[in-house]
Structure 1
Amino acid sequence: MPPRKAKGTVVETSTTKVSVSKAGAASKVESKARVTKRKVVEADPEPDITSEEEEDEPRPVKKRKAPVKTKVEAEDSAAEEEQPKTAAPKKRRVTTKAKSKPEDTMPLAERTAIASLKKAMYIGAHVSSAGGVQNSITNTVHIGANAFALFLKSQRKWANPPMTPEARDGFRSLSETHNFEVHKHCLPHGSYLVNLAQAEKDKATQAYDGFLDDLQRCESLGIKLYNFHPGNTNGDARDAAIGRIAAQLNKAHKATSTVVTVLENMAGQGNVVGSTFEDLRDIIALVDDKARVGVCIDTCHAFAAGYDLRSPEAFAATMTRFDDVVGASYLRALHLNDSKAPFASHRDLHANIGTGFLGLRAFHNIMNYDALAGLPMVLETPIDRPGPDGKTVEDKQIWADEIKLLESLIGMDAASAEFAALEKKLHAQGASERAKIQDQVDRKGAKDAKKASAKPRGKGKKKKAEQESDDGSD
């Protein structure tokens, strides 16, 4: 038995028994083992160990490589490698870093057969693609959806690694296994960083490159629709910004072959392009290949921008206006979101279906509008809720339930007791949030009105006072 090494930086978890015929050979083995231990300590001063065990009985030396693998190497390798003849301390790895994986395999809801619905409404949600785009398919099945959206890469950074062949092939294979027609009912969302209206040359190039990379990923996956926010003028003239957006689209269309770039309508905040149907029309007018461009109507954005969807009459008027200004043939998808903010507030605050200012009747209108059949309809509603420990957790059951709720509205009589009960229940659930946002909107409106009505200063103020005096007013 070699003596235990005295240094405190190494903890032995086992003893070794070495049989040698010569004392010199035993000394060499012991020396090599000590060198190996020293290298391990230098490479990994805090090994990934949660418990240390010492065995009472010695056991034969196993053939193992002296260098200890890192945690990542241990995760990625399942095979044991051939090891040298010298003894090395055996250390137990108890904790490992979990890899990104799809949601639990047990579905929260079963997918509804489209043929069983009175109208072919393909409803889903924007699911996670963490760990690879192929996981988005499993995550879609998990919530019982027939359509889905995803990010094709990180939407919050410019530099992203290329898609792996495994992710690409896995996506195609799983979409076929689960009967998803991804060329029709998958709607990837563009990066929030990309602004195709950017005027500054370097930033415009960066935006275009990121945009084109996503289109190329779509085509490698067999996806035909790609949704994105039009852009921001950054204070420049709107017409000029619209011209730059269209120019970037024309360039991207020439560099690709099949994917349709889908403009999303916006809520009308600041310098954002796309809050009016006229903005969308003007971009499309400048696109050379009209077959390669379309529109996604976000219900929350439309409502916030001043397009009413709440009553059957208001909904019909809005859809007629879209047809007159843009053209119904360009409508390729919908984002289904209620609104925490009131009508024409220009605030982009998504609410769960039926709990916001839009209300359940707006979604009944959508679910029973024949022209929308066959289009991908994607939920982007909130699913965060407090967990048992007080921390925020994502509850995918919310999406699963909302999909079934929307499907149940197809063909439902809006004058029925069933609909009235649903509407009342959901309206009550969102009451406190609506009141809070309404108060914010009212206070801001009062503040803006006060600013607008403030008396002019300086000469203008003096001139106005003189005019009032001439009029005989106080």
Structure 2
Amino acid sequence: MPLFGAHMSIAGGYYKAVEAASRAGCECVQLFTKNNNQWRAKELTDAEAERFKATLAELGITNPIAHDSYLINLGSPDDELWKKSIDALVVELQRADKLGIPYVVAHPGAFTTSTEAEGIRRIANGLNEVHKQTKGIGSQVLLETTAGQGSNLGWRFEHLSGIIEKTRDPDRLGVCFDTCHVFAAGYAMETKKEYLATIRELDKTVGYKMVKAFHLNDSLKPLGSRVDRHAHIGEGEMGLEPFRHLLNDRRFKKVPMYLETPKGTSDLGEDFDVVNLRTLRGLIEK
């Protein structure tokens, strides 16, 4: 049975995200370790970290994962922003490590006014610098597949393999596969044949064993739109079949999967995370 979780808010304390995950019936949880739209971060205390770990143990929630700040751009040709992004990612890894979180999911970056090739080189160099400054830290970066809006890199599997190949410590990196992003980027997954072709492409470039986490999101926008808009499972342009194929793929049965679908309650007053998790569990073949 796959491990299912969701992204949860840390408002009121890190442990609150764990409690919310438990209430929704999750096995794992994703969170931000700081405000994702600010560079600065309030100092993370030992007491906060200990309470977070204790709540995970108490409620049986495993595989906590963090997502980095949306401000970070390791692909930027602007030296000031690039250095600021490196410093910020170092802090993200330090905070995750203190919380006992093994992975920090990061969008690779956008090349803005430079070129795709230059952006890939820039991201790899940035990761080399991050790794140099975080020697001895257990937490690792997971490069996320992106939808490819604007000059964002990571929407082709080749972008990710190019970045990984150019880093000095590729064993300190992994990949987070976002279903909505991969679909919006143009990789079809509706039929079994299409799904297998997409995973074959992933394996040929990155290697499927590099995938350490999944983001499970349907897409509001059509295949190949390169627009990142998440929808509830089975209610977007993807439909249920891609999720059925993924959830019954034995290669990924031990890889944790996290919802990033819209929050709120359904017309019946049910928490949307609960509804989406039930839909996903219903797709698993006995």
Question: What TM-score results when the alignment is normalised by the length of structure 2?
Answer: 0.95
Q: Find the partner of 2:274 among 381, 385, 400.
A: 400
Q: Does 1:286 align with 2:166?
A: yes
Q: 2: distance between equivalents of 1:275 and 1:305? A: 6
Q: 2: distance between equivalents of 1:211 and 1:303? A: 27
Pairing of 1:104-253 with structure 2 (within 5 A):
119=1, 121-181=2-62, 185-253=63-131
Q: Cα offset for 1:201?
A: 2.1
Pairing of 1:287-302 with structure 2 (within 5 A):
287-302=167-182
Decide whether the 8 Å contact of 1:188 with 1:226 is kept in 2. Answer: yes
Q: Cα offset for 1:143?
A: 0.6
Pairing of 1:330-369 with structure 2 (within 5 A):
330-369=210-249
Unpaired runs of at least 5, structure 1: 1-118, 388-394, 413-474
Q: 1: distance between equivalents of 2:208 and 2:61? A: 25
SS of residue in 2 equivalent to 1:125? strand
Decide whether the 8 Å contact of 2:22 with 2:61 is kept in 1. Answer: no
Between 283-292 and 253-262, the greater mean CA deviation after superposition: 253-262
Decide whether the 8 Å contact of 1:260 with 1:291 is kept in 2. Answer: no
Q: Which runs of 4+ in 1 moved over 3 A?
A: 384-387
Q: 1: distance between equivalents of 2:131 and 2:57? A: 27
Corresponding pairs, count: 283
Q: Cα offset for 1:341?
A: 1.1
Q: 2: distance between equivalents of 1:233 and 1:200? A: 10
Q: 2: distance between equivalents of 1:338 and 1:386? A: 17
Higher relative contact order (CA 8 A, sep 6+): 2
Which residue in the other structure is 2:185 paired with?
305
Amino acid corresponding to residue 403 of structure 1 in structure 2: L
Unpaired runs of at least 5, structure 2: none
What percent identity do the matched residue pairs reach? Answer: 34
Q: 2: distance between equivalents of 1:329 and 1:225? A: 15
SS of residue in 2 equivalent to 1:263? strand
Question: What TM-score results when the alignment is normalised by the length of structure 1?
Answer: 0.58
Q: Which has the larger radius of gyration?
A: 1
Q: Cα offset for 1:268?
A: 1.6
Q: Deviations over 1:337-367 (max 9, x none)?
A: 1111111111111111111111111111111
Q: Cα offset for 1:404?
A: 2.1
Decide whether the 8 Å contact of 2:264 with 2:272 is kept in 1. Answer: no
Q: Cα offset for 1:280?
A: 0.4
Amino acid corresponding to residue 279 of structure 2 in structure 1: L
Q: 1: distance between equivalents of 2:108 and 2:172? A: 15
Change (3 A) 1:193 1:357: same
Q: CA RMSD in A?
A: 1.6
SS of residue in 2 equivalent to 1:187? strand
Decide whether the 8 Å contact of 1:196 with 1:245 is kept in 2. Answer: yes
Q: Deviations over 1:191-225 (max 9, x none)?
A: 11110112222222211111111100111111111
Amino acid corresponding to residue 292 of structure 1 in structure 2: R
Amino acid corresponding to residue 298 of structure 1 in structure 2: D
